[in-house]
Amino acid sequence: MSYYVIGVGGTGAKCIESFIHLCAAGLMPDSKSLFCLFVDPDGSNGSLKRAGELLQTYHDCKQLQLGATDLFKSGVRIAQPDIWSPLQDKPARLDEFFNYNILEPAAAHLFDVLYSPREKQTSLEYGFRGHPSIGSAVMASAVKLGGEEPWASLRNQISLDVGTGEGAKVILFGSIFGGTGASGVPTISRLVSNEFKSSKLRQDRFKIGSVLMLPYFSFDPVKSERLRVDADTFLLSTQSALNYYHSQHELKVCNAVYLLGSETLKPMRTSSIGGQGQENEPHLLEMYAALAALNFFGQESVEGYPLVARELQSKTRWSDLPYDSGFADLKKRINQLARFSFAYLSSYYPMLESINDTGRGYRAPWYINFFSRRGVDLKDSITKELKQLKSYCESFLLWLANIEQSQTGDNVDEGGHLINFNAFATTTTDENGKPTVVLRDPNDFSLSHYGNLLLPITANYPKGLSELWETMSDIRIKDPKADGVGRFVRALYDACGKVKAEDS
Amino acid sequence: MDKLKHIGLIVGMAFVFFIFALLIIYVEDPFLDSKVTTGANILMDEWRQLFRYWAVFGISTAVLAALIWYAWGQWTVNLNDWTKANKKRIVWLLFLLLPCCAFLMGWLLTPPIQEGAIFVTAFYLANNLAVYLLATVFFSPSSFKYTPWGAVTLRRGW
């Protein structure tokens, strides 16, 4: 089975971000490759940019020769171009996009009925401004599966998978309280589905699902903009969208639809109509979205209307998170990747940098075993693979911290929900006085918390990192496919799973 | 598993001690019998007994130093902080404190001889140095396995 993930809009991109982290932790059902595509009219959107960079980092890390391991298990194929905009090389105003001035009178009048003058004339450079009516028209007109890239490649690849019997599963992420996701998800679902569900055989080999995000965050309105997304209308927009999807059977093409929402809207740090300023921090609900995608990919077919909800109103616990092989497995894998990232950033990368600068490799027996004796060029790899891995580990820990912060908020005294993020991150205030989570300098990581990165803490492992160092000094990797820097990374990841820690 | 590893490494140190003890008794002592001429105040057999005593004392001190290094490195040092991974000075300090002192004691307290003193000095020095080096090079705690001089080249496979 081949897997395809399409993130529509800023929220869709953030869901892909969570999904990539879960893939890095080895939570995909198998190691088959994943095709990723972002759809957004606002290519400079900060959240999209962050997700795109993460995808590229994952792709780079996947080049490491790790052998058979869960770490970075899934291969990724990034669409070319990775971000597709329906407004690419086209006018960024609705009236110009549809050549309003030269429309026949009847069509022009219909256009006038459907869109207000403000809607017709506002620049769509930063997206559809929370207006799905604009997005639907633009999307339906612009997406051509047989035409431009990346749609042509997507279609050819799915055709190949379906034709050879490999099978293909496509999932779309998007919000339904904004403009891009609400219009893009049903439109793209329908277009892709129509292409591949024409015969019974194809129906068996092709499945499509959607993850639709109901309101879960809010932000202050951008007062300078006349046509804008307004968090106050999120619920109303959602209700309208759901009613519309229901009455028009918009989502009937999907084999599975996941709807996720939260009764409390988390205020986002930034308020922006789009562009780089629209970089919203990750949220727990996006992790749920990624878990929904894993459920879709992992199940032969999703039947009925599965419901998940957390047990306690005031607290999210690991046991609340849905994962096919059980929450304990999910927690264990996230924990292993968290410990790996923590150890790599706090100890292993700094030591490798120090050896690169001053020599004295004898200080780190694992360096002698995995670099020196195997002829791995540290000078070269510290600027390439090891740096890319550092970048990934930073993204992962920051993502984890934000996931926790999205639940804890500023009430750190509550005891937290899922992640003991104070061990590696801290909450500060940005220039606008809003709380923001930043990664600590690795020198300031709370090293004694290495074994207690996830909550709840039931026992302390104050020397966990020291034990890891000892394990790393002796560890042997028998996998012949693990080679070069990948062999060291594999060893560290395996060792992180061996050393005693919370839930190991 | 960890316990077995520690036992294995400590037994390794004991093995080095045992080999050198045998070397002293069956190789060095008979060798010195033909090379050393004692003074009038001591019989050769008495002198040889003292040599064996101080030689074994020297290698015992050397292996004790190696054991102290092992116990300290394994159970005392907390390597949560990677900057504490360089313990080269400790290895040399332990060597200077114990095996070198033992060498000096043996050298000073063994009765003076008329001939062959150079061999006695060489044996005391070589025994202590070799036992300490071999015990630390091959049987140091895992986290510091390549800290002793020569371990990077010699210690392989465990």
pLDDT at A223 over 80: no
Among A143-147, A186-190, B79-83, whose mean pLDDT is lowest? A143-147
Residue from A470, A474, A500 whose CB has the most chain B CBs within 10 Å, to mutate:
A470
- Shortest CA distance from B5: residue in chain A: A474
Q: Mean pLDDT in chain A?
A: 87
Give whichever of A139-148, A233-242, A401-410 has the largest mean pLDDT.
A401-410
Average pLDDT over residues A172-176: 92
- How close A346 comes to chain B (CA, Å)? 8
Q: What is the pLDDT of residue B71?
A: 95
Q: What is the pLDDT of residue A272?
A: 59
State whether residue B4 sits within 8 Å of chain A by CB. no
State whether residue B84 sits within 8 Å of chain A by CB. no
For A10, A15, A54, A170, the CA distances from A6, given in Å and listed in that order, are: 12, 10, 15, 8
For A6, A195, A301, B68, B108, the CA distances from A202, given in Å and listed in that order, are: 20, 10, 15, 71, 94
- Shortest CA distance from B145: residue in chain A: A365
- How close B146 comes to chain A (CA, Å)? 5
State whether residue B143 sits within 8 Å of chain A by CB. yes
Q: What is the pLDDT of residue A274?
A: 56
State whether residue A497 sits within 8 Å of chain B by CB. no
Residue predicted with more confidence, A200 or B138? B138
B127 close to B59: Cβ distance less than 8 angstroms: yes
Q: What is the pLDDT of residue A269?
A: 66
State whether residue B8 sits within 8 Å of chain A by CB. no
pLDDT at A149 over 90: no
Q: What is the pLDDT of residue A122?
A: 73
**DSSP letter for each residue of A175-200:** ESSSSHHHHHHHHHHHHHHHHH-SSH
Report the sign of the C-alpha dihedral through residues B74, B75, B80, B82, in that order: negative
- B20 vs A4: CA distance, rounded Å: 68
Q: What is the pLDDT of residue A124?
A: 72
Two structure tokens written together for A120: 């017709």
Q: Tell me the β-bridge partners of A210.
A: A172, A257
Q: Tell me: the pLDDT tens digits for A84-105?
A: 888 877 777 778 878 888 888 8
Contact (CB<8Å) B79/A466: yes
Q: Tell me: the pLDDT tens digits for A288-315?
A: 999 999 999 998 877 667 788 888 888 8
Q: What is the pLDDT of residue A361?
A: 95
- Shortest CA distance from A359: residue in chain B: B86
Torsion from C-alpha of A134, A137, A138, A141, nearest 10 degrees: 180
Average pLDDT over residues A406-416: 71
ipTM confidence score: 0.92
Contact (CB<8Å) A450/B82: no
Two structure tokens written together for A278: 């629209």
Average pLDDT over residues A341-366: 96
- A86 vs A125: CA distance, rounded Å: 10
Q: What is the pLDDT of residue B157?
A: 80
Nearest to A28, CA basis, from A479, A330, A388, A454: A330
Q: What is the pLDDT of residue A411?
A: 59
Q: What is the pLDDT of residue A121?
A: 77
Q: What is the pLDDT of residue A105?
A: 87
pLDDT-derived band at A147, boundaries 50, 70, 90 = confident
Radius of gyration of chain A (CA): 24
Residue predicted with more confidence, A302 or B37? B37
Contact (CB<8Å) A351/B143: no
State whether residue B153 sits within 8 Å of chain A by CB. no
- How close B70 comes to chain A (CA, Å)? 13
Main-chain dihedrals φ then ψ at residue A419, nearest 5 degrees: -130, 135
Residue predicted with more confidence, A117 or A464? A464
Contact (CB<8Å) B143/A365: yes
Q: What is the pLDDT of residue B28?
A: 94
Contacts of B81 in chain A (CB under 8 A): 447
Residue predicted with more confidence, A125 or A181? A181
Q: What is the pLDDT of residue B1?
A: 64
Give the nearest partner residue to B145 out of A348, A365, A465, using CB atoms.
A365
pLDDT at A410 over 70: no
Among A97-106, A490-499, B54-63, whose mean pLDDT is lowest? A97-106
Window 34-93 of A: residues touching B by CB (8 A cutoff) are none
State whether residue B81 sits within 8 Å of chain A by CB. yes
Among A64-68, A153-157, A241-245, whose mean pLDDT is lowest? A241-245
pLDDT-derived band at B14, boundaries 50, 70, 90 = very high
Contact (CB<8Å) A466/B147: no
pLDDT at A413 over 60: no
Residue predicted with more confidence, A146 or A376? A376
Contacts of residues B138-142 at CB distance under 8 Å and 24 or more positions apart, as own/partner, are B138/B12, B138/B16, B139/B9, B139/B10, B139/B12, B139/B13, B139/B16, B139/B66, B139/B70, B140/B9, B140/B69, B140/B70, B140/B73, B141/A470, B141/B9, B141/B70, B141/B73, B141/B74, B142/A365, B142/A470, B142/A473, B142/A474, B142/B5, B142/B74
pLDDT at A398 over 90: yes
Q: What is the pLDDT of residue A359?
A: 94
The total of structural domains in chain B comes to 1
Among A109-123, A281-295, B56-70, whose mean pLDDT is lowest? A109-123
Q: What is the pLDDT of residue A222?
A: 57
Q: Which domain holds residue B28?
A: 2-154
Window 49-78 of B: residues touching A by CB (8 A cutoff) are 77-78
Among A87-91, A299-303, B10-14, B25-29, whose mean pLDDT is lowest? A87-91
pLDDT at B12 over 90: yes
Window 17-36 of B: residues touching A by CB (8 A cutoff) are none
Total-model pTM: 0.91
Residue predicted with more confidence, B13 or A1? B13
- A172 vs A184: CA distance, rounded Å: 9
pLDDT at B123 over 70: yes
Residue from B72, B143, B154 whose CB has the most chain A CBs within 10 Å, to mutate:
B143
Give the nearest partner residue to B142 out of A362, A365, A464, using CB atoms.
A365
Q: What is the pLDDT of residue A253?
A: 85
Residue predicted with more confidence, B112 or A61? A61
Q: What is the pLDDT of residue A177?
A: 81
Contact (CB<8Å) B152/A368: yes
